[in-house]
Amino acid sequence: MVKSCFHTPAALLAACTLALTLPAPALAQDEVNVYSARQEALIKPLMDEFTTQTGIRVNIVSAQADALLQRLRSEGRNTPADVLITVDAGNLNNARAAGVLRPIESAVLNEAIPENYRDAEGHWYGLSMRARPIMYVKGKVDPADLSTYEALTDSQWHRRICIRSSSNVYNQSMTASMIIANGEAETESWARGLVANMARPPMGGDRDQIRAAAAGQCDLAIANTYYLGQMLNSSDPAERTAAQSIGVFWPNQEDRGVHVNVSGAGVVAHSRNVDNAVKLIEFMASDSAQRWYAEANQEYPVKPGVAWSGTLAELGEFQADAVNLGLLGDFNAAAVRLMDRAGWR
């Protein structure tokens, strides 16, 4: 029953939850079970290559990050999961705080992944990076008028900014990084100014902010770079046209740098296949896997020295905020409360 849930369509996964809370038999030594908040298409080629190289089969359950965390909490020691893959350091830190990840020791991962992109005690490791810069409509905005996130509250940007909801963890982590840099009071003032300059109520995802800017609903958008990169390489001509009308500005290059975040993975606390789980995460930090992330998903490698995709290279080099991403989870609750007080819905 447990194994069948890994091959169940997403719409039926909820029906498996009760079954997955029952005691599970020992799992085969030649497999590893992954709970993934990333779409299966974004990671399956890597999983297939891992199987080819090691003979270890990978079973994947995909769902939203919050749903997977709740599922791991509910399943407890009866979970069949070995690895959690999720997006944003905020989600990774939430998983650590919930006790669903175990610390691991891996010289391979510690050497491959910079300290600020992994948990200090080995509960999780960043595997791909994205930046969250300011995007602008070419021909309507002079990039010389842009400078920092903080300056987005200036009157010249009144009703010209598109950004998604405060319920989105990407914005929560960005706001948390600003609290770390500027303090809570100053960041709340910034959030109020940002809300005043929004062109419309927050709606949709990052791609929707880019589309809205391209369609003339706003002149600036805040979005993750890999969404723009994927749109630039889309098979849909309308997507490519929208993305081609957008320029990227790297804010805060004279001080802390642009906000960056990671997708990452950790070994589940009650994993029955710990060795295989560690092998899989180490494989995902290898040069070949990091190159695949860059070329296929338009995400920046976290491993130094691995080449960016041509699309990412065209967006230009930048200074990234060097804050330890493990701190973003510590300030997440404060960020959410602050955004709510500022009227960011």
What CATH number labels 2-129+261-312? 3.40.190.10
At 152 the pLDDT is 98
Q: Binding site annotation covers 35? A: no
Domain ranges of the chain: 2-129+261-312, 131-258+318-341
pLDDT single digits (tens) 18-28: 333 333 333 44
Predicted TM-score (pTM) of this structure: 0.88
Q: Is 269 helix (H, G, I), strand (E, B) or coil?
A: coil
DSSP per residue over 26-70, as a string? Answer: PPPTTEEEEEESS-HHHHHHHHHHHHHHH--EEEEEE--HHHHHH
Assigned superfamily of 131-258+318-341: Periplasmic binding protein-like II (3.40.190.10)
At 3 the pLDDT is 36
Tell me what the mean pLDDT of segment 301-324 comes to. Answer: 96
The Cα 275–Cα 101 span in angstroms is: 14
DSSP per residue over 230-252, as a string? Answer: HHHT-S-HHHHHHHHTEEEE---
The Cα 281–Cα 156 span in angstroms is: 46
Tell me what the mean pLDDT of segment 8-26 comes to. Answer: 36
Q: How confident is the model at residue 29 (pLDDT cuts 50, 70, 90)?
A: low
Q: Binding site annotation covers 227? A: yes
pLDDT single digits (tens) 32-43: 999 999 888 888
Is there a shared CATH topology between the 2-129+261-312 domain and the 131-258+318-341 domain? yes
